[in-house]
Amino acid sequence: MKVRKTLPGFSLLEIAIVLCIIGIVGGFGLPALTNMLKQQKINRTEQHLTQISQALAGYVLSHKHLPCAAVPGASGELAGASEDNRVIGLVPYRTLGLPESVAKDGHHHWVTYAVVPELTGTKHLMMPQTDDSPERVFCEISSPIAEIQVHNQQGESVLSADIRGDFIACVLISHGPKGEGSFTDAGSRRPTLSHDKAVNAADDLVFIDRLPSADPENFFDDTVRWITRNNLMAIYGQKPCQKRDDSNHPLD
């Protein structure tokens, strides 16, 4: 006669208790995980903006001017390459020698690139034609006619009025987690109902840089990096602008 052996197991009550504990732990851990993933995307965006800024400064040191923007929606050889006279578009990652992934933010949306026309060296602009060092040529370009304007929430310029001889050279914009206002792969802009985000998605040289806001009437989650001509060279190019009189003092 065979004797049946009973195997130890869990009762339904024990299983319910375990599932309840897992649910409680998950309830506490999920927000932390969500915040961690969100912060990783923010950090990746900042890293990409820094890489782009450094590449722009390196391009100046090789060519004496900044590249124009790339054409949104372009394909083939034109994808990621700068186009003459284009001052707002995609980061010209091919021209800068960057991978396509760096031209996008941590949310995988295209970064918008805007540049002062006078700094691009296109034929019809006033780029000095001298044999001086690249940084000297770039640093001696006079104040641009078509200036980039970046305003804060109060509508004031973010560039202090007491900074002489300097101006905003270029702007890089990450348009937030949903990419509202960013360029699509087809070349159009993603729609947005936010006024300030719409300003950053317009085809002019006026932008807004302010603190994030969840206000449903005018929310804002753009990351805006504006770089002055002197800071581009001093911070990212490690070649500070110098006065023409060879005094070796940075511009005031």
Judge whether residue 247 has pLDDT over 50: no
Average pLDDT (156-166) is 79
Tell whether pTM > 0.85: no
Mean pLDDT of the region 82-97: 94
Show Cβ contacts of residue 140 under 8 Å, excluding neighbours closer than 6 positions.
128, 132, 244
Quick check: 81 and 95 in contact, CB under 8 A? yes
Distance CA 252, CA 247 (A): 12
218 pLDDT more than 50: yes
User: How far, rounded to the nearest angstrom, does the alpha carbon of residue 26 sit from its chain's CA centroid?
Assistant: 34
Asked which of 20-29, 44-53, 77-86, 167-176 is least confident by mean pLDDT, the reply is 20-29
Distance CA 56, CA 48 (A): 12
104 compared with 77, residue with greater pLDDT:
104
Q: Are strands 149-151 and 112-115 parallel, antiparallel or unpaired?
A: unpaired
Q: Which residue has the higher pLDDT, 162 or 252?
A: 162
| pLDDT band at residue 246 using 50, 70 and 90 as cut-offs | very low
Residue 198 has what pLDDT?
97
Q: How confident is the model at residue 251 (pLDDT cuts 50, 70, 90)?
A: very low
Residue 187 has pLDDT above 50, yes or no: yes
pLDDT at site 250: 41
Written as six digits, the tokens of 116 are 């002062």
CA-to-CA distance for 142 and 33, rounded, in angstroms?
50
